Amino acid sequence: MPETPQAEDLKDYFLKEIEIIEDIISRMANNSFLIKGWTITLVVISMLLSQEPKVRLFSIIPCIFFWGLDAYYLWLEKLYRALFDWVIANRLNTNAYLFDLNARTRFSSRVDNIFKVMVSPSLLLFYLGLMILIFFLNK
């Protein structure tokens, strides 16, 4: 039977667990930033390489694909922020879910689904604005 952690051990676990979760959140935010950069790059390249205006409309395809991928990473970031809040509020009082980093199963009911995240103002303005720009440049 495993030993239950002592109060001093819980403090050490708390600090390490917070550090791990912060690293995960940071990676998700970085992935979202990189996706936006790749979206602009691929849209510009696809528009520059095509001569026909109808063919240029295919540059919407990477825009839609990366919009979904960006929404997925933002959704994961929100899940880990919920996990972070739970650890801050509860870790020093309990050893329940110690180093359980599976935020999806525990917090998916508390966070908006991917489709709601997809139409959040930050993503909607970026990707919808980019699609509108593509349409205007193809006239």
What amino acid occupies position 86? W
Total Cβ atoms within 10 A of residue 77 = 21
User: What band does 1 get if pLDDT is binned at 50, 70 and 90?
Assistant: very low
In whole numbers, what is the pLDDT of the chain averaged over residues?
Answer: 87
pTM of the model: 0.85
pLDDT in tens, 34-83: 999 999 998 888 888 877 777 777 888 889 999 999 999 999 999 999 99
Domain ranges of the chain: 7-137
Distance CA 65, CA 70 (A): 9
- pLDDT of residue 2 exceeding 90, the answer is no
Distance CA 19, CA 25 (A): 10
Do 103 and 79 contact (CB within 8 A), yes or no?
yes
Burial of 71 (0-12, 13-18, 19+ CB in 10 A): buried
